[in-house]
Chain A
């Protein structure tokens, strides 16, 4: 009558972990653990040989910059995956934050600080609403955040009657907006720190690295992160061990929405306008990075380090292919192939040892 500890059905995909003991062979273990990192390394070597200028600090920074916003969103969604949920609203949270910061500065003549604070407040509020819908209203996570995504996509267009926000734009009442993007806000997207070479590392990359370290430390080294994993893996066991399960779930959605709104702030700072057409790909790219992260180090579960590598991997691949003159329209195809490959790697290969 022994029942194995089976993963409960959850909306977040999960594979059974690899056996580190017993039947599995060392080679196999090695492949599952380091296979993905070796692949990343191999691709870097390949592009360095094949594409002139790929192996340069400028190119590395360009890659980091290209994945910085996606990466930040992906790190946030990792928190919801860890807690056994999913957040589909991150993309629209980011664009809402972008529109809100632009609105505060251009239409309301606000400064950089108030624009940033408004965005963070919006992020926290949306995270709380998502968490409330999922935890207290019992709406399944995918559906609740899908609804929130839809709602925000519409909401962000209402204040400007569907127009993009730019300096000197005409407002719905016919007047011309008097505010401008403050220089210190734009610096978030454009300032470059000196690192070995002058003017090398953009601020957005610094933000990405800092947030990656913060969330990684939180998930791996604090008791709160550990309990969040416990909630995602066996909610009832976590609750009977005294964990405030509802609080952890809501916290996960708040983290996710805050990260997304930070992504939105960086997007606005980089573009210098509130562009209603931008940010279409953010959700899919971020989710792909987080799911690709399952394959890193054979974790077979959401993890911050994996998410960062996943985001980086897509960036490297696209940069390399672009430098080798692959057309832009092949990009989504490449991302899709990477994701499918990583998922098969995670679930079929490392899951095979499950009993």
Chain B
């Protein structure tokens, strides 16, 4: 392939148990180039990064750095060889309670043969050199904990650059930065690029990608499914490749829905973003799709009262709807199956029936005294309806598989009639059989409420939704009926093409 490649990944394979995460990945990185790696959740991006930087050992395949074989046994070894990674979680890259200077020099303080005594003056002097070279303007005496996220990210990168790397891997570096903060990061990346560093940049954000990419590589199911090069990059093609060929699925019978249950007018999720409006009808299932970080969860939490509306109006069943808390939303019949069930839904100390009755204990108790027999009855009905695989309704949650745990969290909110049921990434970490069960149950029970599902994976949206709305940059930018879809337009909207035209 390219003869000037400084870093070459060839045919990398890595499995965890029966789960093959990397299935023969090959990438070349050239000096002075930003290669963007795109991939949906679970495509294998993190595993690839961790294998390349020495956290995991590959099952097979080879890495070549500067023409020589490269097989780091640890991150420290990778760093010494010149392959430096800045991980997604900013706080993994810095020590919050130490000052900036010490953070920059951290790697000089550990290891055998380093001086035992700590000379703060020398540390600061050397840190100053590193900072100047990187154009880092933060106060070196400031504690990292007091810095905004962007500055912490800069410190983490500057610390990485103190090793004079040949290859720099940035794993979703802008995921927690504002656009102004991100701009500073881009300047830095461009300076490094001009200095001849080969950069592998992992991101979902189309704005980042458009700003920085020289090449785009799409990863899907552990394989490279597309490399996009040349003077004009095919962003749409890259997104398409990353999301995969749209597999044919059980066609659903698309319904138009009845009366309008919920409507939002001129809603703004984030200051300065374009306001948007939408309606949800009785009996229909609407999917909102879009890349990670475009504001889907923000919208879900706003509708559920867990987040303040920046501006705009909402109406539910014709009446103004302005929930101040989750309890408010639940009382008016708006339920949320939250994203990330282990963090937001499951009470680990509770068994199945206790988890199912959690939000509606009030309805299940008599003057405050809980009626366990009624709770168990309700749980048994839900176990049958959703096909939850368990011995009894008293089983502990951790004995269930991921798909069955998810069924329990969905059952929790299906047990009472809703006006608006919101599900945020309900199929995350759920096997295909459980996903079909949940989708079928949602469609079968859809009458009498509006249902809104937030999904990143398009396949899932096609499988469940009557209507698909597209979200990008914290606003809605497209609407499709799930019937003879205009795929090209849909993908263009997801990748934000239409936004730049406007």
Contact = CB atoms under 8 A, between A and B. Distances in A.
17 contacts: A1-B402, A17-B396, A22-B399, A222-B368, A226-B361, A226-B370, A233-B349, A239-B326, A240-B338, A241-B326, A241-B359, A242-B325, A242-B327, A242-B329, A242-B359, A243-B327, A355-B398
B401 interface: yes
Interface stretch (A2-10, A33-41, A187-195): A2-10
Contact of B396 (A20, A229, A232, A240): A20
A301 B399 contact: no
Nearest to A301: B349
A3 B358 contact: no
For this complex, into which size category does the number of interface residues on chain A fall?
35 or more
Instruction: Please list the 5 inter-chain residue pairs (A to B) with the smallest Cβ-Cβ separation, ordered nearest first.
Output: A2-B402, A241-B359, A242-B327, A223-B361, A233-B349
Interface of B: 41-42, 304, 306, 325-327, 329-331, 336, 338, 341-350, 354, 358-359, 361-362, 364-365, 368-370, 391, 394-399, 401-402, 405, 412, 428-429
B43 to A, nearest CB: 11
Contacts of B396: 17, 19-21
Given A17-B396, A240-B306, A4 B326 contact: no
A97 B405 CA distance: 48
A238 interface: yes
Contact of A240 (B336, B350, B394): B336
Contacts of B327: 242-244
Contacts of A2: 401-402, 429
A223 B342 contact: no
Nearest to B401: A2
Given A19-B399, A222-B370, A237-B358, A1 B347 contact: no
Nearest to A19: B399
Contact of B350 (A6, A8, A233): A233
Interface string A10-51: 000010110111100000000000000000000000000000
Contacts of A19: 396, 398-399
Contacts of A238: 347, 358
Given A1-B41, A5-B397, A240-B336, A233 B348 contact: yes
A222 to B, nearest CB: 5
A221 interface: yes
A7 B348 contact: yes
Nearest to B428: A1
A222 B42 contact: no
A354 interface: yes
B343 to A, nearest CB: 6
A3 B336 CA distance: 20
Contacts of B369: 221-223
Contacts of B397: 5
A7 B343 CA distance: 9
B342 A3 contact: yes
A64 interface: no
- Which of B42, B348, B391 is most buried by chain A, counting CB atoms within 10 A of its CB? B348
Nearest to A18: B396
A234 interface: yes
Nearest to B392: A21
B347 A21 contact: no
B370 A234 contact: no
A236 interface: yes
Contacts of B398: 4-5, 16-17, 19, 354-355
Contacts of A301: 349
A227 interface: yes
A150 interface: no
A224 interface: yes
Given A17-B396, A222-B365, A233-B348, A1 B342 contact: no
Nearest to A243: B327
Given A226-B370, A244-B327, A234 B348 contact: yes
Contacts of A3: 342, 402, 429
A227 B350 CA distance: 11
